Amino acid sequence: MKEVIEEFKDKKVLVIGDAILDVYIKGVTDKICREAPVQIINVQEQEYDCGGAANTAINLAALGAETCFLTVIGDDENGRILTNALREKNVSVECIIKDSQRKTIAKKRVVASSNILLRIDEGNIDPVSEELQLKLNERLSEVMNSFDAVILSDYEYGLINESSIVHLIQLKKQTNAILIVDSKNPAKFRKLHPFAVKPNYEEAISILKLPKLQNRDRVEQILENEKRLMDITGAHCVAATIDMEGTLLFEKGKSPYRIYTEPQDNKRSIGAGDTFISAFTLAVLAGADPRTAAEIGAAASAVILKKEGTVVCTTNDLIDYFNENPKYILRLEELILKVNKLKKEGKRIVFTNGCFDILHRGHVNFLNHAKLLGDILIVAINTDESIKRVKGEERPINSLEDRIEVLSALQSVDFLFSFEEDTSADLIKALQPEVFVKGGTYTIESIPEALLVRQLGGEVKILTSDIGLSTTRLISKIREAALHHHEENNYAKAIGLE
């Protein structure tokens, strides 16, 4: 998964759809109004986020894509706030069309103690004028060939109509861009034959004209209607998201595939579907098959469901999600954040580095004693390539993955990080540990990082190693024993005992 996610960068995606400004009016409430039996909210702050198709755009940008947003908004204050927010989140706004006759759609939520008490909606949701539709089509003709994928994020707020679809059908013949549909009514894009559509449960039963069911019955209901769903949408793939029941992926010529999800109790997270379709699209562009892409999309949704409000999932979030070892930190930025947070809590950081090729009693004792010098022990472990440079082509005996797994089992070790450089100087500059520890085979003069640690205000400690215990000596003993055993066998053969 990590390899796919790392390929998200620089993929070019155009988002076409309804822009919404999400506003959070946050405050506290401890009084009842005299004029009516309602709560009084003492407003403390207002937050502005990108909603609707704009949320899809910022999720794509957060995942590393070059993202452009094509939409129509009002030439008003809400439109200016939304445009600025998109720019700040690295979304190109060059294709946005402003119209003085329309009001930008805004959804204002009044929030107290993380609970939404009221939502106020404003803005135009009626169809755009013919003149604006022509402008949209012209702009789409100008830019579509520049993108790897086009996402139609349709909230049915008047932007994408039959004229848009007819125009897209013509443009599709002239481009290699894949088309992805995320719509309240995916059936209206049937003639476009998109690569994928992503209905949620309500959208799926709406186009199938089925009754609404509860819990696990919903999965069976959608499974039974796979063929109809594929026919009605005209898509190569259908990813039907069913809340706590996970996602059902239908693909032409293949059996249905179900992705299970961890139930989340978060009513404040908004736009999980936008996050899913963003990660799914980029995974497909990165070469993943639809099943893998859907797994990545579901993971991205799970990430934001642990957050509050209109939020995004980053590539770092996704890589962390698929990291099965919580002690092993994959990115230096994340380790720096963790260390800074721990320092603010008053924790003392101890740092050491090494190969830790074949873990033995000396290593365990060393790490236990190192942990006693502070509160948090970080172990930087040499990659296989860096060990070969220092120890020779026959080392390491154990791969980086194996060494990390073994070290993770030690209670003394809090975090692990791998590095390819000959020294850990760059890590020390970034983390600035209070204590840097090395084993008894070293002297202060022989430690290349010692001066740097002291310049940064840290201490250098040398812990006495168990005499006779080292990986090199252990390997020599094993080789000697193997050689002795081989010689004994040869002798036995020579005298006819074998």
The per-residue pLDDT for range 252-286, each reduced to its tens digit, is: 999 999 998 766 555 545 678 999 999 999 999 99
Q: Supply the pLDDT for residue 106.
A: 96
- Contact call for residues 303 and 297 (beta carbons, < 8 A): no
- CA dihedral sign, ordered 171, 172, 177, 182: positive
CA-CA distance, 46 to 23, in Å (whole number)?
Answer: 7
Query: What single-letter DSSP state applies at residue 9?
Result: T
**Domain locations in the chain?**
2-322, 332-467
pTM: 0.72
CA-CA distance, 255 to 267, in Å (whole number)?
Answer: 33
Answer yes or no: CATH 3.40.1190.20 is held by domain 2-322.
yes
Indicate which residue of 18, 148, 154, 274 is catalytic. Answer: 274
- Contact call for residues 272 and 229 (beta carbons, < 8 A): no
- Contact call for residues 162 and 156 (beta carbons, < 8 A): no
Buried b (16+ CB within 10 A) or exposed e, 178-195: bbbbbbbebbbbbebebb
CA-CA distance, 297 to 292, in Å (whole number)?
Answer: 9
- Kindly tell me the burial class for residue 215, based on how many C-beta atoms sit within 10 Å of its own C-beta (0-12, 13-18, 19 or more): exposed
Q: Supply the pLDDT for residue 496.
A: 56
Instruction: Say whether 274 is catalytic.
Output: yes
**Among all chains, which residue has been given the structure tokens 């721990």?**
342
Q: Supply the pLDDT for residue 220.
A: 93
Q: Supply the pLDDT for residue 265.
A: 54
How far from each other are the two terminal CA atoms of the chain, in whole angstroms?
52
- CB under 8 Å, gap of 24 or more: what pairs does 451-456 form? 452/425, 452/428, 453/428, 456/428, 456/429, 456/432
Q: Supply the pLDDT for residue 342.
A: 94
Answer yes or no: CATH 3.40.50.620 is held by domain 332-467.
yes
Token duo for residue 39: 């709560």
Query: What single-letter DSSP state applies at residue 270?
Result: B
Give residues with Cβ within 8 angstroms of 478, minimum separation 6: none
Three-state DSSP class for residue 158: coil
Q: Supply the pLDDT for residue 430.
A: 95
Cα dihedral angle (88, 89, 95, 96), rounded to 10 degrees? Answer: -70
Q: Which parts of the chain register pLDDT below 50?
A: 268, 467, 491
